[in-house]
Structure 1
Amino acid sequence: MSTITVPQGSSYVAASLLSTVFLLTWQTVKVSRARKLAGVEYPRLYADKAEMAASPAAVKFNCIQRAHANTLENIPQQYLMTILLGVKAPVVAASALGLWVVSRVAYTSGYASGDPTKRNNILTRITYMPALATLLFGSIWSVYTLVTEQV
């Protein structure tokens, strides 16, 4: 029978995963406030073109809503890569996910300005790719080493 050994430092991985709950909650609050200011009623996801032309608040709402949706679209793979890397290198995994969370805060803050080009600001640029590359290549390395240890 196989045993599962939780590597030392796994609490860091847990903390980094928990940080994403705060990120998503913060984004949700921003979306809710912007929705109210723009007057976009549920269940509509976005303000339409006419609303955007008439109201800067509607443009900002769409931008904030899109930043939140983009995070939700990407978070499952971030979780998976963090957990896979965390098996072999928990501190690296936690640090990379923490950096990814910082990149999402920068991305959301820039996007929330109402100017979509500001979503890729300098902080987003210097944090997103290193975080993503670490999680992607680190998780590949982790799985590879797990597989080769079994052989």
Structure 2
Amino acid sequence: MAIVDIPNEYGYVLLAAVSTFFVGTWHGMRVGGFRKAAKIPYPYEYASYEQVQTASPTNANLMLAFNAAQRAHQNFNENHPTALAAMLITGLKYPTTAAVLGAVWSVNRVVYAIGYTNSGSEGGKGRYYGALWMLAHHVMVLMSVKSAWDFISA
């Protein structure tokens, strides 16, 4: 049986993990602002293709920005559980690396969202400015496998 020693640096991992909660809250508030500007009522999740096509250019851009903000938020929600778990597992063996990767993940989720919404009329191509989150995400997942293997092998 492996005994888990929590490294002193694990607090940084927890701080990086907590940062993801603030990023998620920021996403939700941001979507709300874009929803209000685009005049998309609840419970509709997106402005439909037909709504965008028949709207004035100004309103169409507002709707596309809302759709992009909503999609960025959903993409965050889809990836958050895996990133958080991988960060916490990785941090048990590699706390500094996990904390740095977690911070990179959080910062780039914000860059991704801003880029996406600022380029909604261009198909959201601006999201690629924050694509570094994907690299951080996959490295954390792979390192969590390595951490788990290290515990099994101990």
Residue among 65, 68, 73 paired with 2:73: 68
* Paired residue secondary structure (2:8): coil
Distance 1:70 1:27 in 2: 10
1:105 aligned residue: 110
User: What's the TM-score once normalised by structure 2's chain length?
Assistant: 0.88
| Superimposed CA distance per residue, residues 57-100 of structure 1 (whole angstroms, 9 cap, x where no aligned partner) | 11110000000000000000001111110110111111101101
Residue among 145, 148, 153 paired with 1:148: 153
* Paired residue secondary structure (1:112): helix
* Paired residue secondary structure (2:6): coil
Percent identity at matched positions?
32
> Residue 95 of structure 1 aligns to which amino acid in structure 2?
V
> Residue 119 of structure 1 aligns to which amino acid in structure 2?
R
* Paired residue secondary structure (1:5): coil
Could you say if the C-alpha distance between residues 33 and 129 of structure 1 is closer, same or farther in structure 2, counting changes exceeding 3 Å? closer
2:21 aligned residue: 21
| Superimposed CA distance per residue, residues 92-138 of structure 1 (whole angstroms, 9 cap, x where no aligned partner) | 111101101121111101101123111112xx24x234412430221
Q: Tell whether 2:122 aligns with 1:117.
A: no
* Paired residue secondary structure (2:66): helix
How far off is 1:140 after superposition?
Answer: 1.2
Unmatched segments (≥5 aa) in structure 1: none
Q: How many residues align?
A: 146
Query: How do 1:1-151 and structure 2 match up within 5 A?
Result: 4-53=4-53, 54=55, 55-113=60-118, 114=120, 115=122, 116-121=124-129, 124-125=130-131, 127-149=132-154
> Residue 56 of structure 1 aligns to which amino acid in structure 2?
N
> Residue 114 of structure 2 aligns to which amino acid in structure 1?
S
> Residue 33 of structure 1 aligns to which amino acid in structure 2?
G
> Residue 62 of structure 2 aligns to which amino acid in structure 1?
A
* Paired residue secondary structure (1:88): coil
